[in-house]
Structures are given as C-alpha cells and as structure tokens.
Amino acid sequence: MSPNGGPAARPGPDDLRRTFEAVPARTSDADGPFAESWWGRAWVEALESLSMDEARLACGREYADGGHVAAITVTPGRVIAYVHGSRPRPYRAELRLRSFPASDWDTLLDAVAARPGHLSALLDKEMPHSLVDTAGEAGIRLLPAAGDLDPDCSCPDRGWPCKHVAALCFQTARLLDSDPFVLLLMRGRGERELLDELGRRNAEHSARERPETPAMPSVAASDALADRFLPPLPAPLPVPQYPGEPPSYPELPGARDPLGLDHLATDAAARAHTMLTTGEDPLAGLGTWQDAVRIAASRPTAGLTATTRALYRELAFATGRSTTDLARAVAAWRQGGAEGLEVLETAWDPPAGPFDRARPALASADFPRFQPRRNRLTDATGTLQLRFGHDNRWYGYESDPGEDDWWPRAAPDPDPVAALTALRG
C-alpha cells in the first residue's frame, strides 16, 4: 500500500507502465461509496453509464470488494488485470480509454501551466474541479463520459461490460482516489514527463508576465583589465603518483565523528586524483544514495567497528535512510556493485528467454519448485530467492521463515543452478 492508503505502484522504466499490487478485500464499509474522491466517483459514474445491467455491476462490485482483482497494469489508453471468477483460471480483463493526441496535450498543458495552483494540486495528488474546468474550457475532457470506455474480457460473457471488467473498473476508481496521475497516464502521458513539462511551461509563462527590466551594460573582461598588468599564471603542479593523506581532524565539542570524516576525505582525495590523472570522474552517474552505499561498502568487512558504525550513522542520516536500510544496501553492493543495488531495490519484467528457462533448469537439477513473480523466483518455504538482473545474472537472496525480509547472499552467476547452489552452500 502507498503511504496515503492507496495501492502501492511499481513504475516502469519509462514511467509509461505502472503496475499496482492487488488490493485486499474490503472488510468494512462495503456498502459505502466505492471511491472517496470526486474524480474517483466520476469514474464510477462513467462505468455505470456504460452498463445497462445492474446485476452485472453489482456482481463486479462484489468481486472488487472481495479482492478478486489481481495486480493492475496501467499504460497509455489501457488498464489490464486478471480477475478471479467462478472458474480456477482467472480471466484477463481490459479497459481501453482514448489517449490524447499531441495537439490536445499541448493545449491542455499550456492551459494548466498558466495557473500555478493546478501544478501544486497535482503535486499533492489532487485533481481540483478547477483543473478539470480549465481543461474543459480548452476543449479537453479529462474524465471519461458515457461511451468513452471500451471493455474487453477473455470470459464467455458478452455483457457490456461483463462482471470481470466491472470489477476492474471499480478497482481502478480506488487507484484514481490515491493518484490522479493514473488517469493522466491512461490519457497518454507519464507523471515525470508531465511534471517536467508543466514546470517548464509554468516558468516560461511566469517569465512572459514579468515586466521587462533594462539590461545592465556589459564590459568585456579584456577591456576591463586592459590597463592592468597581470602576471601570467604559474604552471600547474605535477599530479602526485598517489593521492595525498588527508589532514588529521581534532576532536571538537559538538563535532561529528572525526574518523568518519577522515574516511570521507580520503575517498574524496582518491576521486580527485583519478579525475586529475584520467580526466574522467569514476563516480559519474551515481546518485547520492548510491554513492553513500559505495562509501559504506568500502569499509573493512571484519565486523562493525566503532568507526564503521559512526560512518553508517552519518551516511544514513545524510540520505534519510535507516542504518538497517544502509546495511542491506551495502550487502547488495558487495554482491554486485551498482547492478546489485538495482536488483535489491527495483523489480522489473524481464523478457522471455533466460528467465523462462530458469525454472525447468532448476527442476532438472532436483531443486524444489520455485514461484515466479516479475524478475524473482521464490521457493515454497519462502526462505530462498533468486533475482534476475539486467546484467543477465542471478542474485541469491535469503529470508527467515515467515518473514518478508530478504538479504543478499552469495555471488551472482549467469547460471541459476550455480547461483542457487552457492546460495544453499
């Protein structure tokens, strides 16, 4: 679940594919409104206007209330989920909604960017009436109306829609409750792209509205310094063969741990030396969290000394994480570097090929049955797991029985059987 109570979502790599975990059955207030927000209720009203069969709608709501709808995937123009009905095999339910063409998006974004309150509301996961009204004034209809929704299902029921699609529609209203960007994704644009574009257009609009100020006269630097004698700069000092030692830091009242500071200074000196000698930054592309994990992982592995514990506390505090989060990330970094950390923190949908061949390979090696979920294979005991990385290697993970607390273990391997053997050994 997300922090505001809605279903938890896993964004896709390009932000145009979002998968929401299955929502558990409602245990209370099943007779109340299915959606809490006005835009969620507008979605339900569009569904109800689509159907002329009250019985199918009622059954679809019961399915949604009962937790029959599996994970929901939202892409531009489509909402898809498997819905468990009366048969053992679930049905594939799909709902299509017209995506906006580029010209409509330009019109809509220009209209929204001209009103800063709309951008603030979207950042707060709100869709005020004024935003929908602004879109309507520009000729763009954000919320669906009768006839906008096109349902489809693999079941034999020819209802329009059937109860499985109705269940998907009701559950989609709950997604919209927690995040109106889901609706905008259905219309064709991802959240990050929208916010970047709205921010840019809002800045341009504000710049156009600011009164023009006369430009300050400029003077070329060569003219300003023409009557001054400046000696030539000295030649740069030769780059030392090895990074220098950092200074020693005295213990000052209220200061943070000096040994941790010494470690950070040593790391910065080594990075600067590499940049001077090669002209390249060895850490280019690393974010703040990745760099913190790398620094923590560079400490000796023989026990958590007082210095290491102090460094962990400093890095965890600086990145807004807990020391347990950092320790788990360090284990992943030592397992596979930046790719190991990516495997720890991000689930993804691998293409057919090595992932699909892993289960029969494990079965032929007499290993127990593994259950697939996205890029992960988990054994029946819930204690062993293999995760498939973008580098086509299998990473071993382990958890205590009955706990969803996975920790990286063993070295990764392109062969799932070898990876599992190392994990168990």
Instruction: Kindly state the average pLDDT of the residues 275-288.
Output: 77
Check pLDDT > 80 for residue 16.
yes
pLDDT of residue 3 exceeding 50: no
* Predicted local distance difference test score (pLDDT) of residue 269: 78
Question: Which pLDDT score is estimated for 316?
Answer: 79
**pLDDT in the model for residue 303:** 47
Rounded distance between C-alpha atoms, residue 5 and residue 219, angstroms: 59
What would you measure as the largest C-alpha separation in the chain, in angstroms? Answer: 92
Q: What's the pLDDT score for residue 81?
A: 93
Cβ count within 10 A of residue 315:
23
**Domain range summary for the chain, segments of one domain joined by +:** 9-208, 258-344, 354-424
pLDDT in tens, 157-212: 877 778 899 899 889 888 888 888 888 899 898 888 888 888 788 777 766 765 55
Determine which of 121-125, 227-231, 352-356, 403-407 has the lowest per-residue pLDDT on average. 227-231
List Cβ neighbours of 168 (8 Å cut-off, separation of 6 or more): 60, 64, 69, 72, 79, 81, 83, 93, 94, 95
CA distance 375 to 350: 6
Please indicate, yes or no, whether the overall pTM of this predicted structure exceeds 0.75: no
In 18-34, which positions are buried (b, 16+ CB within 10 angstroms) versus exposed (e)? bbbebbeeeeeeeeeeb
pLDDT at residue number 5: 46
* Nearest C-alpha neighbor of 329 from the set 313, 349, 343: 343
**How much is the mean pLDDT over the chain?**
80
Residue 89 pLDDT > 50, yes or no? yes
Q: What is the mean pLDDT of residues 35-44?
A: 81
Q: Which amino acid is at 395?
A: Y
Give the pLDDT of residue 31: 61
* Winning range, highest mean pLDDT, from 6-10, 20-24, 78-82: 78-82
